[in-house]
Amino acid sequence: MSTSRRLVLITLIATLSVQTAQAQRWRAIGQTVTGSSVFIDPASVSKKDSIITATVRVVFKEPTPTPKGPITGSRAVAMFDCARKTVAVKENIIWHDERKGTIYEKRTPKLPGFGPVFTSNFSGVALTYLCAPPTPPTPPTPPTPARPAAPAVPNTPPSGRPPLIPRNP
């Protein structure tokens, strides 16, 4: 195999490895009312009092047209106040193409302020997921007791019919 083919093969394997690692990073948590998929990075989730901070990603069902070109998704680092049901976005990136790394817009407020959660967008989906009460563990199912055997009747075959009595001719 030539050196250039080896280089192409190594590059292809490296690219697929990175894409696989990124796919494993995100956990699907629901959909917006428009059908866009909402994901969370489990490694980014942290909790302090009733505030949960997490990185949330949205992949639009259909690209949204803009004068600068279509946008395909967004990623936000947000704080969710479970007690008050409010959200504050610390950073928001809107993507032309996340795979290529082309950003449409990036916002990082100096002082994020908490505001209402909208059930129609990612904030409602993420708040519902992150602030849900923990599900109790499922208790183990007790083993089913064996059915007691029917009392044995002497000289009764397994079919349950009485045995044939031979006749003397």
Would you say residue 74 lies in a domain?
yes
Reduce the DSSP state of residue 29 to 3 states and report it: strand
Would you say residue 166 lies in a domain?
no
pTM as predicted: 0.66
Average per-residue pLDDT in the chain?
Answer: 82
Q: What is the pLDDT of residues 97-115, one digit of tens each?
A: 988 999 999 999 998 899 9
Would you say residue 95 lies in a domain?
yes
Would you say residue 136 lies in a domain?
no
Would you say residue 57 lies in a domain?
yes
Would you say residue 10 lies in a domain?
no
Which structural domain range is residue 29 located in? 25-130
Per-residue pLDDT of the chain (169 residues; tens, 9 = 90+): 666 655 545 554 544 444 444 457 999 999 999 999 999 999 999 999 889 999 999 999 999 999 999 999 999 999 999 999 999 999 999 999 988 999 999 999 998 899 999 988 999 999 999 998 877 777 777 777 777 666 655 555 566 666 666 666 5
What's the structural domain count of the chain? Answer: 1
Would you say residue 13 lies in a domain?
no
State the CATH number of the domain containing residue 98: 2.40.128
Tokens of 17: 């490895």
